Amino acid sequence: MLRVLIFSDIHNDAKALEKLMDIDADYYFAAGDLVSWARGLDKMGEILRRRAGRVYVLPGNHESVDDIAALCDRFGFVSFHGATLEANGVRIAGLGYSSPTPFDTPGEYSEEELALRLEQFTPLKPQVLICHAPPLNTALDRVREGLHAGSRAVREYIELHQPRYFFCGHIHEAEGVVIQMGATRAQNVGKRGYLLELD
C-alpha cells in the first residue's frame, strides 16, 4: 500500500501543517502556497523537517521556483516543480504556479507556458498529476457563483490525457471538492489535505 498525502494553500497556518505532519505517509506533497507572498518559508520548513526525505514541494502563485528550491536545499526536501517520481510502479507528476491572477503574485505562468510544461509529462503517462492550479470552469476553481479562476491549460491536459488522479489547490473556496472528469478523479485538496492510498 502506497500512502501519499497531498495538501495545498497552508498560507502560514502552522497548526494546520503540524496536523498534516502527524499523518503517517510514504510521501508528502505540498502543492503550493505554503506561505503568502513568499514570507515565512523557514518556519514552515521547520514543521516539515521531521518528514524530510519524503517531502516534495511545488511553488504556488505565492512563491517563486527559486524560493522553493532554496527552501528544499535548506531543509532536505525535493523541489517537485515540473518533475516526476515513480513510487511502487505509480508515476506521479507535479507542476506549480497558477495561471495569471489580478494580484501579480510571484508564481504565475501564461496559459501557453502552463500548456508547454504540462506537455512534457505526456510521454511518461503519469497516473497522478498534482498542480497548484485547478482546471478552469469546474467546481474545483469556483470562487463564487459565476466566477471561476482556474487554468484552461490544466483543464485541457486532464481532458486529453486522463490521469487516474488529479490534485490541486489555489482556490480556497473549493477546498475539499471532488469531481469526475471522464476517467480522472479530480480534487481540490486545500489545507485539510487528502491521503491517497494505492495498492
What's the rounded Cα separation, in Å, for the pair 43 and 142?
30
- pLDDT tens column, 128-185: 999 999 999 999 999 999 999 999 999 999 999 999 999 999 999 999 999 999 999 9
Ramachandran angles phi, psi of 44, nearest 5°: -65, -40
- pLDDT of amino acid 96: 98
Spatial CA neighbour of 194 closest among 18, 13, 11, 30: 30
What's the rounded Cα separation, in Å, for the pair 6 and 130?
8
Instruction: Tell the burial category of 179 from Cβ atoms under 10 Å away from its Cβ (0-12, 13-18, 19+).
Output: middle
- pLDDT of amino acid 179: 98
What's the rounded Cα separation, in Å, for the pair 91 and 125?
7
- pLDDT of amino acid 157: 98
Specify whether the CB–CB gap between 118 and 154 falls below 8 A.
yes
- pLDDT of amino acid 199: 86
Ranges of the chain with pLDDT below 50 = none
- Give the cell for residue 138: 469546474
Pairing of strands 90-95, 83-87: antiparallel
| CA dist 102 → 124, 149, 163, 174 (Å) | 33, 10, 30, 19
Q: Could you state, in order of their start, the residue ranges of all structural domains in the chain?
A: 2-198
| Fold of the 2-198 domain | Purple Acid Phosphatase; chain A, domain 2 (3.60.21)
